[in-house]
A and B are shown apart, each in its own frame.
Chain A
Amino acid sequence: DAGVIQSPRHEVTEMGQEVTLRCKPISGHNSLFWYRQTMMRGLELLIYFNNNVPIDDSGMPEDRFSAKMPNASFSTLKIQPSEPRDSAVYFCASSLLGTGAGLANIYEQYFGPGTRLTVT
């Protein structure tokens, strides 16, 4: 498996522009997470989906941010309009939520390589 795929790897845009980040989770995984990493705030969970349904979006900073998961193999994180303070590395991660507890399922999250976003 290719692992979690994110695109683009780098994005430079001007303030006010719309930015769309893309993620393809590992095939067969049923949970997907979007994180943001900055020096000041560390790693923040923005939103996560289970079976394509958003479960918790309490980490989304404001209405300028939106995320969708139209099917099991694709998700987008959109920022409109973008601002300089949105500059960060955005990670997508996927995981398999099993139906039983125990040693067989430790709910490991597999992270993509990240998208480095710079808003000028």
Chain B
Amino acid sequence: GEDVEQSLFLSVREGDSSVINCTYTDSSSTYLYWYKQEPGAGLQLLTYIFSNMDMKQDQRLTVLLNKKDKHLSLRIADTQTGDSAIYFCAERTGGYQKVTFGTGTKLQVIP
């Protein structure tokens, strides 16, 4: 079955690192994604990782994938107030484009 879980809330100080965690249940996931939702807007793709990768780095973002534990994390280095948003973990399985989104983690950055 498909189930993606995240903690609901994370608060960090500006300049610190943020780590947002996600667990999923479908071992046949092919792509895993992180989407960002700013207030009053739709979701935007932030980064992604293929299921055959362990890590992906993109500027301040680091994605870690542990397939054995079905655990995905997003690390944001030097967190800024502009990073305040809701972050959704998502997995894609199957032949079509059905993507299952997590519950979202609201990141609050304290100046």
Contact = CB atoms under 8 A, between A and B. Distances in A.
B104 A48 contact: no
A93 interface: yes
A95 B97 contact: yes
| Interface range, A side | 20 to 34
Contact of B45 (A4, A50, A56, A109): A109
Given A42-B101, A43-B101, A93 B96 contact: no
Interface in B63-111: 88, 92, 96-104
A106 B97 CA distance: 10
Interface of A: 4, 31, 33, 35, 42-43, 45, 48, 50, 55-56, 91, 93, 95, 97, 106-109, 111-114
Interface residues of B, number: 20
Contacts of B103: 42-43
Given A4-B42, A108-B33, 7 more contacts: A42-B104, A55-B96, A97-B97, A107-B92, A107-B97, A109-B43, A111-B43
Interface string B17-35: 0000000000000010100
